[in-house]
Structure formats: C-alpha cells, structure tokens
Amino acid sequence: MNGAEWKTGYLVFAVVWWIASWTLNEWLVRQKPANATANRLLGLAVPLVFGITLLVIWECIVRGFQIPAILLPAPTAIWAKLINSLPILAADFRQTFLKAVLTGFVLGSGLGFVVALLIDRSPFLQKGLLPIGNFVSALPIVGVAPIMVMWFGFDWPSKVAVVVIMTFFPMLVNTVQGLSAASHMERDLMRTYAASWWQTLTKLRLPAAAPFIFNALKINSTLALIGAIVAEFFGTPIVGMGFRISTEVGRANVDMVWAEIAVAALAGSAFYGVVALIERAVTFWHPSVRGGRA
C-alpha cells in the first residue's frame, strides 16, 4: 500500500470504529442487569468506551490528515513523551501541586472555615461579610497573581498566596450558609438539653454543615490548581507546571505541553476524587450519599 491509501485507511478505520462503539454503547445502555455489581460495571463501561473511542479517532485523524505535531500531536506521541520525561514532570508536579496547591488549599480553606466560625456569633458581621464574600467569589481573583508574585517572590510562596485568596471566599460563604442549615426545631432541642454554644456546634451544626463545607472543598480543589498554574505564568523559578506549559509552548514542543496537561488533569481529578471519597465517608447520612450517588 502507498501513503495515500494508508491515510484513507486510517480515516475509514476511524469512521468504522465510531459507528461500532456507538452501536455498542446504544446496546449497553439498554441492558438491565439483575445485580448491582454488573450495573456499576456497566456504568463504568459506557463512558470508558466513549473515551477510548475519542482517543482512537484523535489518533486516526492526526495520522489520516497528516496533521503536523506542532498543531496536534497524536495520543501515542503524547504518551511516549510522558514516559520519556517522567523526571521533569515529577519535579513540576512537586513544585506546583505538592508545594503550592496543597499548602494553599489547606491554608485558604482552613482560614475560611475559622473566619466563618468567628463571625458565627455576630449576626452583624455575617450580614456585612456575606454579601461581600458572595461578590468577591464572582470576581476574576486570578488577577491578583501578578501582585502576589511581586510581594512574595518568584518561588512557591507567591503561588500559595494566590491559592489562599482564591479558596478563602468559597469556603467562608459555604460554611456560614452551612452553619445555618440546622433547623430551628433541632436547635431548640439542643437548648432544652442546656447544650452550650460549643456543644451545639460540634454535635449539631457542624455535622449539618458538612455537605456545604465539602461542596466548598470540591470547588476549591479545582480553583487551587487553576490559581497555582496561572500564577506561574507571571514568573517562577525554572520549574512548575504553569512554567513548563508556557515555555514549552514558546519552544513549540506541543507534545510536552500535552503531557503536562495530562498530568494536571490526572492530578486535578485525583484531588477531586479524594475529597469526594472523604465526603462520602463523613456525610454518610446525607440523602445524596445514601441513594448511592455522590
């Protein structure tokens, strides 16, 4: 076969694969397995088939149309690059994720939580801070990144600062909302028990607030990564995911950029997944968890 036939071959293969996998999925979603395990496996299989199909079609299109690697590298090329540059990726991961994201996430969420508890006893401060917190949550806070880089230097502390500011407000707003989630009836019951503010807080209101707090933690897990990566566009030492992405784009190593994005995607999903798992364990009583869906 000559080159042109190969190219059409790839495209035909892509179309055939697409039709086959779509038929498979149409068939799969119509199955009604008897036991729960099979049902869960089916729920995993359908999106998995779809994801693999996307990858296959991507690969075939890149090969079929001979798209230059500088525009869109094939998945296999990205995978090869990923395996080859593991040490660099690991260093970037350490710098951006372990140092900046995790520290900032813990500090920002913790600070938001503590401030929410502090203003809990003052309705006046709540009325004053909540509208401002809500307002700030809608602002493009990533814009403070250049200022933080100026204040705290190029290394990871400035990224931590950006992440802290980004994660603080969602946590504050959600915790304050969550603390008022317990109904009057339940609070009156605690009063009849002569429970102190502290006892009411730990035994009733914090558990009732848990779904809200975890909602904020989930939002923050995504925001933290975004904040750290964007802050790196404004200046870093020569390591970090955001730095790698912006420099490798400049050097036209698009496959390296995609490898970095794959790492970021994996880290982000895993981070979110861990928070969601902890949520299921802590708020096991909540209807959305009991129903078997998180």
Sequence-distant contacts of 275-279: CB under 8 A, at least 24 apart = 275/214, 275/217, 275/218, 275/221, 276/218, 278/214, 279/210, 279/211, 279/214, 279/217, 279/218
Shortest distance, position 283 Cβ to other proteins, whole Å: 19
* Interface with other proteins, residue 138, by CB under 8 A: yes
| CB 283 within 8 Å of CB 206 | no
Using the contact rule CB under 8 A, the part of the chain among 57-65, 195-203, 209-217, 227-235 near other proteins is 227-235
| CB 283 within 8 Å of CB 289 | yes
Cα–Cα distance measured from residue 235 to residue 252, given in angstroms and rounded to the nearest whole number: 20
Q: Which one of 13, 222, 239, 282 is in contact with other proteins (CB under 8 A)?
A: 222
Q: Which one of 246, 282, 286, 289 is in contact with other proteins (CB under 8 A)?
A: 246
State the Rg of the chain over Cα.
Answer: 24
Q: Which one of 226, 239, 282, 289 is in contact with other proteins (CB under 8 A)?
A: 226
Cα–Cα distance measured from residue 229 to residue 222, given in angstroms and rounded to the nearest whole number: 11
E strand residue ranges, the chain: none
**CA distances from residue 26 to 20, 23, 30 in whole angstroms, order as listed:** 10, 5, 7
| Binding mask of the shown chain, residues 160 to 199, with x at each position contacting other proteins by CB under 8 A | ----------------------------------------
Cα–Cα distance measured from residue 281 to residue 294, given in angstroms and rounded to the nearest whole number: 11
* Interface with other proteins, residue 65, by CB under 8 A: no
Task: Please list every residue from 268 through 287 that binds other proteins, using CB under 8 A.
Answer: 268-269, 271-273
Using the contact rule CB under 8 A, the part of the chain among 108-116, 155-163, 203-211, 220-228 near other proteins is 220-228
**CA distances from residue 73 to 6, 12, 83, 136 in whole angstroms, order as listed:** 18, 20, 15, 39
Using the contact rule CB under 8 A, the part of the chain among 108-116, 173-181, 186-194, 258-266 near other proteins is 258-266
* Interface with other proteins, residue 88, by CB under 8 A: no
Cα–Cα distance measured from residue 259 to residue 151, given in angstroms and rounded to the nearest whole number: 31
Cα–Cα distance measured from residue 89 to residue 63, given in angstroms and rounded to the nearest whole number: 27
* Interface with other proteins, residue 13, by CB under 8 A: no
Q: Which one of 34, 124, 184, 292 is in contact with other proteins (CB under 8 A)?
A: 124
**What number of chain residues touch other proteins (CB under 8 A)?**
63
* Interface with other proteins, residue 47, by CB under 8 A: yes
Query: Which residues are at the interface with other proteins (CB under 8 A)?
Result: 22, 25-26, 28-30, 43, 46-47, 49-51, 70-72, 124-129, 131-132, 135, 138-140, 142-147, 149-151, 221-222, 225-226, 229-230, 233-235, 241-242, 245-246, 249-250, 254, 257-258, 260-261, 264-265, 268-269, 271-273
